[in-house]
Structure formats: C-alpha cells, structure tokens
Amino acid sequence: MLGLLVLLQNHHDSEDVALLADDLDLEIDEILPSLEFAEILQLVKVSDGRVTFTDLGKRLMAATIRSRKSLLREQLRKTTLFKTLVRALESAPAHELSDHELAQIVSLTTSPSEEVVQNIVNWGRYADLFRYDADERRLIAVKGTSAPKAGTGRSPPPSPPSSGPGPSPPKRSGATAPSDPPGAQVAHALA
C-alpha cells in the first residue's frame, strides 16, 4: 500500500486507477485491495475510477517515518479489528494473546487465512500497536499497557508490511485458500 501511495504522489496526488495499475505492470484487480485498505484508513478517496489523496494521505506522505507510524497507528486504532485486538491485549491477564486467541478474534470479522493473519500482525507491529514474539507465538501489548514478561524473545523492528515473509501466523487445520486476494480480506476485516 505504501508503495502505491508513493506512486500516486509521483502522479501529483491524483490519477486514474487503470494508469496506476499500468505503471506498476499489474492488473487493476491486483491493486484494488491496497487501494481499498488506503481508503479504509482515510488516506485516499476513490471515485469514478480515479484515486486522489485526502488531506490525511498528503500529510502521511510528507511525514517522517516516525510520524507516518504514529499517523497509521491512529488510523488503525479506528478500525473495528485493531480496536478489538488492542482491547483484548489490554484486558488479557499478561497483556498477551496466543496465536490461537488472535485467530479467534480475527475469525469474528473474516475467515482468516494464514496470510491475512500475518498481514494483520505486520501492520499492527509496524504501527507499534503491539509486538509479536515469534518464539512464544504471541502478540504482546506495548505503550500504555503493562510491560511484557521478562525473558520473552523479541522480534526485530518491523518494516512496512508486505506480502513477503513475516511472523508465522497461527496454523489452522482445514484452512482453505482464500477466494479474494489477501489484501481484500484484510480490508474487509478492518471495516
């Protein structure tokens, strides 16, 4: 999504969706999940096949990395899914959620594939809403909640989420391949 926003910025903050897809050498349906996610976060507005930055989107692109994280953190906190995850972390006895508990929460909003859960974890980590301990396979609350247990493994600082490798999401038996692109499932879960 962030790469798509950089491209939009290079197109003077507004462009036809088809031209953006063409510039990326992708089909339109391949960039729609990222556009939908950016729209849910109120960074862009899509109307009549044209995508345009909102004032918030322009602020994001002009911001430093630290400010971008802060802005994204606030936007993610407004979504139902991340609001629920943060509340669950804050109310959990050790301020941690196991992969199983995470999958249960995510399943309330979508039928999570491993990739969807991985993307949710990556976005939450990137925005500093929580940490992920890969050794313990747990989400851990940060800032404003109690400190994590001593001795837990720490994940490296997150880079912007992508479809590449990241923390291992929970394994579930009987999981089926998603019918929508993973980004679309994340966007639907956030709504």
| Residue 134 vs residue 145, higher pLDDT | 134
Please state, in angstroms and rounded to a whole number, the distance separating the CA atoms of residues 20 and 82: 29
Q: Per-residue pLDDT tens for 156-173?
A: 444 455 443 333 433 333
**What residues does 49 pair with on adjacent strands?**
none
The reply to whether 71 and 18 lie within a common domain is no
The reply to whether 124 and 160 lie within a common domain is yes
Q: Is the CB of residue 138 less than 8 Å from the CB of residue 132?
A: yes
| pTM to 2 decimal places | 0.67
Query: What are the b/e assignments for 106-117, b being 16+ CB within 10 Å?
Result: beebbebbbbbb
State residue 114's pLDDT score.
74
**What residues does 50 pair with on adjacent strands?**
16, 47
Instruction: Look up residue 93 and give its two tokens.
Output: 């006895």
Q: Is the CB of residue 102 less than 8 Å from the CB of residue 165?
A: no
State residue 113's pLDDT score.
62
Nearest to 32 by CA among 184, 186, 189: 184
Q: How many domains does the chain fold into?
A: 2
Please report, for the domain that includes residue 38, its CATH number: 1.10.10.10
The reply to whether 124 and 164 lie within a common domain is yes
State residue 189's pLDDT score.
53
The reply to whether 56 and 135 lie within a common domain is no
Q: Could you give the strand order of the β-sheet that contains 44-47, starting from the edge strand earlier in sequence?
A: 14-16, 50-53, 44-47
Give the range of the structural domain holding residue 70, as residue numbers without chain letter: 65-190
The reply to whether 146 and 89 lie within a common domain is yes
The reply to whether 79 and 144 lie within a common domain is yes
Mean pLDDT on 85-97 = 93
Backbone angles phi, psi at 180, to 5 degrees: -95, 155
State residue 116's pLDDT score.
76
* H/E segment holding residue 126: helix 114-126
